[in-house]
Homo-oligomer: A and B are copies of this chain.
Amino acid sequence: MKIDSVDFFYLSMPVVTEAADGSQDALLVRVTSGGHQGWGECEAAPLPSIAAFVTPMSHGACRPVSASVLGERLDGPNDITRMSATVAYNSMDLLQAAHTWSGVETAMWDLLGRQRGVPAYTLLGYANAYPKLPYASVLFGATPEETRTRAAKIGRAGFRAAKFGWAPFGESLANDVLHIEAAREGLGREGVLLIDAGQIFGEDVEAAALRLEAMERNRVTFFEEPFHGSAYGAYRALGARAGTVKTAGGEAAHNRFMAEHLMEYGGVGYIQIDCGRIGGIGPAKQVADAAARRGVTYVNHTFTSNLALAASLQPYAGLADHRICEYPTNLQSLARDLTLNHIEPDANGEIVVPEAAGLGIEINPDAVTRYKVDVEIRVKGKTIFSTPSI
Residues of A that sit less than 8 Å from B by CB? 12, 16-22, 24-25, 43-48, 50-52, 54-63, 85, 88-89, 92-96, 98-99, 198-199, 202, 228, 230-232, 252, 254-255, 257-258, 261, 265, 277, 373-381
Shortest beta-carbon distance, A184 to chain B, in Å? 26
Task: For the complex, give the distance between the alpha carbons of A134 and B156 in Å.
Answer: 68
B residues less than 8 Å from A257 (CB atoms): 228, 230-232
Copies of this chain, tallied across the complex? 2
Q: A48 contacts which of B21, B89, B96, B252 (Cβ < 8 Å)?
A: B96
Q: A46 contacts which of B12, B58, B230, B376 (Cβ < 8 Å)?
A: B58
Task: For the complex, give the distance between the alpha carbons of A235 and B64 in Å.
Answer: 28
B60 touching A20, Cβ below 8 Å: yes
A95 touching B93, Cβ below 8 Å: no
B45 touching A88, Cβ below 8 Å: no
B residues less than 8 Å from A254 (CB atoms): 95
Shortest beta-carbon distance, A171 to chain B, in Å? 14
Task: For the complex, give the distance between the alpha carbons of A208 and B63 in Å.
Answer: 25
A45 touching B374, Cβ below 8 Å: no
Please classify the interface of chain A as helix (H, G, I), strand (E, B), loop, or mixed, using the class held by over half of its residues. loop
In the complex, 15 of the A-B residue pairs with CB atoms within 8 angstroms, ordered by the A residue number, are: A16-B58, A18-B59, A19-B59, A20-B59, A20-B61, A22-B59, A24-B58, A45-B52, A45-B62, A45-B96, A47-B377, A61-B198, A95-B95, A230-B261, A374-B379
Task: For the complex, give the distance between the alpha carbons of A337 and B113 in Å.
Answer: 52
B residues less than 8 Å from A58 (CB atoms): 16, 22, 24-25, 44-46
Shortest beta-carbon distance, A16 to chain B, in Å? 5
Shortest beta-carbon distance, A157 to chain B, in Å? 24
Given A45-B52, A50-B51, A89-B199: 8 more A-B contacts, CB < 8 Å: A17-B60, A20-B61, A24-B59, A45-B62, A46-B55, A47-B55, A48-B96, A228-B257
Most B-side CB within 10 Å, residue of A25, A58, A60: A58
Task: For the complex, give the distance between the alpha carbons of A93 and B21 in Å.
Answer: 12
A380 touching B376, Cβ below 8 Å: no
Shortest beta-carbon distance, A389 to chain B, in Å? 17
Task: For the complex, give the distance between the alpha carbons of A232 and B255 in Å.
Answer: 13
B residues less than 8 Å from A377 (CB atoms): 47, 375-378
Shortest beta-carbon distance, A264 to chain B, in Å? 8
Task: For the complex, give the distance between the alpha carbons of A5 and B257 in Å.
Answer: 38
B residues less than 8 Å from A373 (CB atoms): 56, 379-380
Given contacts A92-B252, A94-B45, A261-B265, A376 and B374 within 8 Å (CB-CB): no
B residues less than 8 Å from A50 (CB atoms): 51
B residues less than 8 Å from A46 (CB atoms): 55, 58
Q: A95 contacts which of B17, B48, B59, B88 (Cβ < 8 Å)?
A: B48
B379 touching A93, Cβ below 8 Å: no
A379 touching B47, Cβ below 8 Å: yes
Closest to A253 in B: B230
B residues less than 8 Å from A378 (CB atoms): 374-378
A93 touching B252, Cβ below 8 Å: yes
Task: For the complex, give the distance between the alpha carbons of A231 and B94 in Å.
Answer: 18
